[in-house]
Amino acid sequence: MIVNLLRLGALLGLFVSLAQPAAAADPDPADWPAVMAEAEGQTVYFNAWGGSSAINDYIVWAAGEVKRQFGVTLEHVKLEDTATAVAKVVAEKAAGRDEGGSVDLIWINGENFVSMQEQGLLAEGFATDLPNWRYVDTDNPTVTTDFTVPTLGQESPWGGAKMVFFTDTARSGPIADMPADTDALLAWAVEHPGRFSYPAPPDFVGSSFLKQVLIEQIEDAALLAEPVDEATFDIVTAPLWQWLDEIRPVLWREGRDYPQNYPAMKQLLADSELDIIFAFNPAEASAAIAAGELPDTVRSFTFPGGTLGNTHFVAIPYNSSAKAGAMVLANFLLSPEAQIRKEDPQFWGDPTVLKLDSLPAADRESFAAIDRGVATLSPDELGPVLPEPHASWMTRIEEEWTKRYGS
């Protein structure tokens, strides 16, 4: 009797397993023709920051190209904060929605990537098998690690970033008189009260500025390559809070208010309310001049000892409903065609992730012909890149900043 029941249970289990549809296998980028065939007709919901008209216009252009060339429809889901898209995927996983997710591709890096990777919210590694990976500058370690964490091919690099400061020289004087590090910036702010500020965290640009100060002010910056140790956090970060305490009374509006984001800070420079602002893109000043948003007397500068830099990426959530289409879009964004347009300040001005000597001669010539604008520093003027701390530092200092200075 027991044997018969066991046999019946096994048969029922087999029947149930046969009745359930098998989960579709993820597309394999190593078989690119199959990926292309599957992608045709798909709609990719690309969740990406929507706070820049130039970037939004670039994505509109990319949408037209992937539709024309590959039959893939790109829908830009405009975000104020990448964490919003991450939260969607978290909620879908909690609800058991392991297929047919609402986020197909996400513009991401840093703590959001680390969070998704740790929670198993990303598709398996795909980036290094994309056809255009052969052009990527793999000598740059930030294309395979994100805030010290290996990407494992789960992110495809899209562009480079480096913190650059700029000022209107018609008001503030020559670039040679600008601060050369955060100590000098504090001294400058004391001498020019109300003429400097930074976006309030968790705005990405504002949080990046906090990391710049942290890297320069702490005794041992090597500690930042490891995850936050709560036992020593207060001691390690004390110089950061001391610096922020000292500068707060001489900030714009005496630190009672902060610009919402980089576009707001840029407008304050245009309105002569601020004299020094900063961005995470070396071409921002030239792009703003070309767009008529800033006067042509604005010029860029960096700190000789280095400023923060990283790579930003696109990634595919584990439950994306259009993984093949997302791979096709990620591969297009890596193409010389897309990267040339992206580096041109006329369209965006975002530094390329490609290794130029790996490109065909015509593409190298196109990169060389880009007019980067009067306010864009040459690569040898940008100075050293300060590596990003482990992603846990951004999360922790944002929390502490809010506790100390948030309204």
Written as tens digits, the pLDDT of the chain (407 aa) is: 333 433 434 333 433 334 333 446 799 999 999 999 999 999 999 999 998 898 999 999 999 999 999 999 999 999 999 999 999 999 999 999 999 999 999 999 988 999 999 999 999 999 999 999 999 999 888 899 998 899 999 999 999 989 999 999 999 999 999 999 999 999 999 999 999 999 999 998 999 999 999 999 999 999 999 999 999 999 999 999 999 999 999 999 999 999 999 999 999 999 999 999 999 989 899 989 988 999 999 999 999 999 998 999 999 999 999 999 999 999 999 999 999 999 998 898 888 999 989 999 999 999 989 998 999 998 778 888 888 999 899 999 999 999 999 86
Buried-exposed string 279-298: b where 16+ CB fall within 10 A, e elsewhere:
bbbbbbbbbbbbeebbeeeb
What is the Cα–Cα distance from 366 to 105, expressed in whole angstroms? Answer: 28
Residue 279 DSSP SS3:
strand
Reduced to 3 states, what is the DSSP secondary structure of residue 209? Answer: helix
- The strand pairing partners of 196, in sequence order, are 276
In b/e form, how buried is each residue of 36-54, taking b as 16+ CB within 10 angstroms? bebbeebebbbbbbebbeb
Please state, as a whole number, how many other Cβ atoms lie within 10 Å of the Cβ of residue 107.
Answer: 22
CATH architecture assigned to 164-310+384-405: 3-Layer(aba) Sandwich (3.40)
Please report the pLDDT score of residue 7 as a whole number.
Answer: 41
Helices within 119-203 (DSSP H only): 169-172, 182-191
3-class SS letters over 296-315: CCEEEECCCCCEEEEEEEEE
pTM: 0.75
Structure confidence at residue 76 (pLDDT): 98
One-letter identity of residue 370? I
Q: Where in the chain is the domain with CATH 3.40.190.10?
A: 28-159+311-374, 164-310+384-405
SS3 category, 284: helix
Pairing outcome for strands 164-168 and 385-387: unpaired
With beta carbons less than 8 A apart as the criterion, state whether 80 and 49 touch: yes
Architecture of domain 28-159+311-374: 3-Layer(aba) Sandwich (3.40)
The Cα 86–Cα 393 span in angstroms is: 19
86 phi and psi angles, rounded to 5 deg: -60, -45
Greatest pairwise CA separation for the chain in angstroms: 95
DSSP three-state, residue 255: helix
CA–CA gap between residue 204 and residue 193 (Å, rounded): 24
The pLDDT, as a whole number, for residue 71 is: 98
